[in-house]
């Protein structure tokens, strides 16, 4: 018997799995249990195997910072990083409590006293760094989408404009964020001068770098989506004599939405990768800086902590992609395209 | 008096291999309320004729007059039922028809009237049970019904149908033909329909226009179908006159204008471009 559970086309035989399969297909198991096994148990086995191989391999790799950490050490560091975060939070709470108390006292003594509330200035924890990175990537991505979607729409509708912009798009698309970074840093330093900046310079630099790399997939896919509206649907609009605006809103944009989302998903993925590199290089706060700092720090725990960051980066990237997918599912009419 | 006059229309396309004269001197006069079928071999230029009447293509010579006024752009007075239904996939059945109703009767009907008119037309094609379904959730025959409802809802002067049932299985097709006859009996529209199906042409039409093979295709022969309405396909099956008409069309297509030995062109579908990041 073949193992249809995995992929009906790859037919290989294994008595143990055959028995498992037969067991699953017998009437005792309702479909839901079978589904659960397929979606939980099988990935679980794969992950367990991965951890086993990793653990075994790690023991045999000696680095200047000691043994490459195995799953256990990494887990320990994850717990400890979370603990540090909790401790830091507690300290912050205490700080604010003390400050409030002091201010209350001051006011009680002299109702006209000037009360100042100072923010807590502790070291950002791992969790804070994740938050910063998320905020930065979100900012960069939203700015990029706000620019790229209209540009893509206009390029898709006007062949002339497309011909004009296409060379620029094609040349800038493959540029690595690392090449943009020095330029962006200098330009931000030169232009973003204010006494009391709303955002830190480093934040602006990273966000703009992300924007620059997020633009292209969205522009290109939106352009293709808009320009490849089915000719038959355009004929419908001509027969109905739809005005330019109605045609755009009712026919062109909806049919471009699936590709627009494809572009945005690609952009977000690229943006997240770019951000980590940018933070690392430019010493902007965030996960990239965390990794860099740990690397420079070079303690015995550093490698395990970096590994925690690697997993965090992967999980966040995965969550971002899933988030876009959910959004696409809500917004797009093309339910089949979503699964691609 | 002639309602629609296709006056010696010719068209030449510029192709990579030089100019291609597809139609030459196509002349046809259609009366109000008449049902005319266009039949001819694949690639002879039937769709091109229809698209010129619709205004989607411009004739290179000659022209089309509707009520003595020249047609030179598309408009809802010449509604088209497309071969592949062309419903907007992101709109429900109701919204697809409603979009047409809203555009055509923006000034002349109130909101409530437009709603009722949409429902009325969907009722006419027996689609009231699936108002909120999307096109990809209904069968091919149902999509074609909605396409017809959308065209009818525009209250066109001429209804143009490009192989409306070509993509359907034969059982569904007979249902759709009966539906169309029923609607035609009630509304008495002026219709030009393209078909490949000889039985369909004889059953539905007042006149069958047979086209010669391209290039430079033109009207080869016109056959008046003098059968009483309502027509019943079962009773017509052994009606000698019906069979005579069938034979006449078949002879035209397969004896006198047999398909030249070129490979039949594949039906063109809109190319799906794939985008990469
Ligand atoms: N835009 C165009 N440019 C060049 N040639 C064209 C164009 N449109 C149609 N043709 C040619 O005109 C001829 C007639 O095409 P048309 O689509 O009208 O045929 P048809 O009779 O409707 O065929 P079918 O029954 O297969 O639908 C074909 O040879 C086609 O290649
Ligand atoms: Mg055709």
Residue A282, pLDDT score: 78
Q: What is A274-323 written as a DSSP string?
A: HHHHHHHHHT-SSHHHHHHHHHHH--TTHHHHHHHHHHHHHHHHHHHHHH
Residue B36, pLDDT score: 96
Same domain, B229 and B260: yes
Q: A122 to chain B, minimum CA–CA distance in Å?
A: 41
Mean pLDDT of chain A: 85
Cβ-contact A84, A93 below 8 angstroms: no
| Contacts for A291 with CB less than 8 Å, ≥ 6 apart | A276, A280, A306, A309, A310
* Among candidate residues B140, B155, B170, the one where a domain is terminated: B155
Pick the closest to residue B236 from B275, B181, B190, B192 (CA basis). B181
* Among candidate residues B128, B155, B182, the one where a domain is terminated: B155
Residue closest via CA to ligand 1's atom 6 equals B13
Alpha helices in B55-169 (DSSP H): 93-104, 111-124, 140-153
Query: How much distance in Å is there from the Cα of B201 to the middle of ligand 1?
Result: 21
Domain that holds residue B118: 84-155
| Contacts for A337 with CB less than 8 Å, ≥ 6 apart | A258, A262
Scanning every residue of chain A, which has its alpha carbon at the shortest distance from the alpha carbon of B102? A240
Same domain, B69 and B204: yes
Stretch A12-41: mean pLDDT, rounded? 72
Helix, strand, or coil (residue A273): helix
Q: B263 to chain A, minimum CA–CA distance in Å?
A: 25
Same domain, B67 and B109: no
> Residue A285 — very low, low, confident or very high, per pLDDT cuts 50/70/90?
confident
Chain B residues lying within 8 Å of A236, measured CB to CB: 82, 86, 88
ipTM: 0.86
Residue A336, pLDDT score: 67
Q: Is B22 in the pocket of ligand 1 (CB under 6 A)?
A: yes
**pLDDT of B240 above 90:** yes
Q: Quick: pLDDT tens for B158-200.
A: 999 999 988 888 888 898 899 899 888 888 999 999 998 999 9
Q: Mutate which of B37, B47, B58, B268 to test ligand 1's pocket (most atoms within 8 Å of Cβ)?
A: B47
Would an 8 Å CB–CB cutoff place B239 in contact with chain A? no
Question: Which atom of ligand 1 is found nearest the CA of B40?
Answer: 21
Residue A62, domain member (yes or no): no
Domain that holds residue A237: 126-331
Question: Which atom of ligand 1 is found nearest the CA of B45?
Answer: 18
Retrieve residue A285's tokens.
Answer: 């706060």
Residue closest via CA to ligand 1's atom 25 equals B42
Residue B244, pLDDT score: 94
Q: Quick: pLDDT tens for B23-61.
A: 999 999 999 999 999 999 998 999 999 999 999 999 999
> Residue A337 — very low, low, confident or very high, per pLDDT cuts 50/70/90?
low
Alpha-carbon distance of A210 to A268, in angstroms, equals 9
Same domain, B75 and B88: no
Scanning every residue of chain B, which has its alpha carbon at the shortest distance from the alpha carbon of A337? B274
Stretch A262-283: mean pLDDT, rounded? 89
Test A239 with B76 for CB contact under 8 angstroms: yes
CATH of the domain at A153: 1.10.3720.10
Residue B199, pLDDT score: 93
Residue A151, domain member (yes or no): yes
Residue A142, pLDDT score: 96
Test B90 with A254 for CB contact under 8 angstroms: yes
Q: B235 to chain A, minimum CA–CA distance in Å?
A: 38
| Contacts for A205 with CB less than 8 Å, ≥ 6 apart | A181, A184, A185, A188, A278, A282, A284
Residue A29, pLDDT score: 65
Same domain, B75 and B89: no
Q: A179 to chain B, minimum CA–CA distance in Å?
A: 20
Number of structural domains found in chain B = 2
Residue closest via CA to ligand 1's atom 4 equals B13
Q: Is B47 in the pocket of ligand 1 (CB under 6 A)?
A: yes
Residue A225, domain member (yes or no): yes
Q: Is B20 in the pocket of ligand 1 (CB under 6 A)?
A: yes
Residue closest via CA to ligand 1's atom 14 equals B45
* Among candidate residues B155, B184, B215, the one where a domain is terminated: B155
Same domain, B138 and B62: no
> Residue A11 — very low, low, confident or very high, per pLDDT cuts 50/70/90?
low
> Residue A120 — very low, low, confident or very high, per pLDDT cuts 50/70/90?
confident
Question: Which atom of ligand 1 is found nearest the CA of B15?
Answer: 4
Q: Mutate which of B22, B58, B263, B264 to test ligand 1's pocket (most atoms within 8 Å of Cβ)?
A: B22
Q: Which element (helix H / strand E) includes B178?
A: helix B170-187
**pLDDT of B92 above 60:** yes
Q: How many CB pairs under 8 A join A and B?
A: 73
Would an 8 Å CB–CB cutoff place B90 in contact with chain A? yes
Alpha-carbon distance of B162 to B46, in angstroms, equals 8
Scanning every residue of chain B, which has its alpha carbon at the shortest distance from the alpha carbon of A231? B270
Question: Which atom of ligand 1 is found nearest the CA of B48?
Answer: 18
Same domain, B68 and B116: no
Stretch A137-145: mean pLDDT, rounded? 95
Query: How much distance in Å is there from the Cα of B43 to the middle of ligand 2?
Result: 7
CATH of the domain at B41: 3.40.50.300
Number of structural domains found in chain A = 1
């Amino acid at each position: 018997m073949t193992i249809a559970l995995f992929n009906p086309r790859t037919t290989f035989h294994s008595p143990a799995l055959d028995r498992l399969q037969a067991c699953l297909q017998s009437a005792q198991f309702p479909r839901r249990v079978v589904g659960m096994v397929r979606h939980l148990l099988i990935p679980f086995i794969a992950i367990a195997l991965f951890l086993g191989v990793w653990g075994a391999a790690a023991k045999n790799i000696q680095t200047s910072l000691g043994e490459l950490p195995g799953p256990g050490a990494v887990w320990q560091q994850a717990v400890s990083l979370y603990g540090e975060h909790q401790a830091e939070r507690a300290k912050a709470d205490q700080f604010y409590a003390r400050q409030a108390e002091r201010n209350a006292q001051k006011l009680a003594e002299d109702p006209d006293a000037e009360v100042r509330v100072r923010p807590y200035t502790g070291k950002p924890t791992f969790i804070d760094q994740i938050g910063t990175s998320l905020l930065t990537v979100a900012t960069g991505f939203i700015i990029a989408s706000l620019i790229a979607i209209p540009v893509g729409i206009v390029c898709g509708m006007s062949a002339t404009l497309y011909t004009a912009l296409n060379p620029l798009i094609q040349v800038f698309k493959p540029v690595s964020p690392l090449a943009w970074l020095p330029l962006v840093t200098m330009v931000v330093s030169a232009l973003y001068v204010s006494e009391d900046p709303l955002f830190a310079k480093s934040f602006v630099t990273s966000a703009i770098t992300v924007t620059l790399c997020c633009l292209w997939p969205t522009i290109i896919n939106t352009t293709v989506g808009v320009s490849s509206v089915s000719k038959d649907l355009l004929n419908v609009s001509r027969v109905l004599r739809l005005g330019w605006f109605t045609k755009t809103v009712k026919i062109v944009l909806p049919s471009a939405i699936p590709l627009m989302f494809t572009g945005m998903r690609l952009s977000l993925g690229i943006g997240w990768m770019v951000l980590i590199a940018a933070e690392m290089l430019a010493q902007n706060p965030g996960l990239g800086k965390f990794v860099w700092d740990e690397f420079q720090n070079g303690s015995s725990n550093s490698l395990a902590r970096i590994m925690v960051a690697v997993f965090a980066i992967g999980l966040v990237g995965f969550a971002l992609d899933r988030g876009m997918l959910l959004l696409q599912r809500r917004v797009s009419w093309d339910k089949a395209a979503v699964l691609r | 008096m002639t309602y629609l006059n296709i006056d010696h229309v010719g068209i030449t396309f510029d192709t990579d291999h030089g100019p291609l004269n597809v139609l030459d001197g196509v002349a046809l006069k259609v009366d109000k309320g008449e049902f005319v079928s266009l039949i001819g071999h694949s690639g002879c230029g039937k769709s091109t004729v229809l698209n010129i009447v619709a205004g989607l293509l411009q004739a290179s010579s000659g022209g089309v007059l509707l009520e003595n006024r020249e047609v030179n752009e598309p408009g809802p007075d010449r509604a088209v039922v497309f071969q592949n239904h062309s419903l907007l996939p992101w709109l429900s059945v109701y919204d697809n028809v409603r979009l047409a109703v809203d555009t055509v009767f923006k000034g002349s009907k109130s909101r409530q009237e437009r709603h009722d008119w949409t429902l009325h037309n969907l009722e006419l094609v027996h689609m009231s049970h699936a108002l909120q379904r999307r096109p990809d959730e209904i069968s091919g025959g149902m999509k074609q019904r909605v396409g017809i409802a959308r065209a009818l809802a525009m209250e066109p002067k001429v209804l143009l149908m490009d192989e409306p049932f070509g993509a359907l299985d034969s059982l569904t097709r007979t249902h759709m033909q009966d539906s169309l006859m029923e609607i035609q009996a009630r509304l008495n529209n002026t219709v030009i329909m393209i078909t490949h199906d000889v039985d369909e042409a004889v059953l539905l039409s007042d006149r069958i226009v047979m086209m010669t093979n391209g290039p430079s295709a033109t009207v080869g022969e016109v056959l008046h179908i003098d059968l009483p309405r309502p027509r019943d396909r079962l009773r017509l099956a052994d009606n000698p006159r019906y069979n005579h008409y069938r034979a006449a069309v078949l002879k035209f297509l397969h004896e006198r204008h047999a398909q030249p030995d070129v490979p039949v062109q594949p039906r063109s579908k809109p190319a799906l471009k794939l985008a990469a990041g």
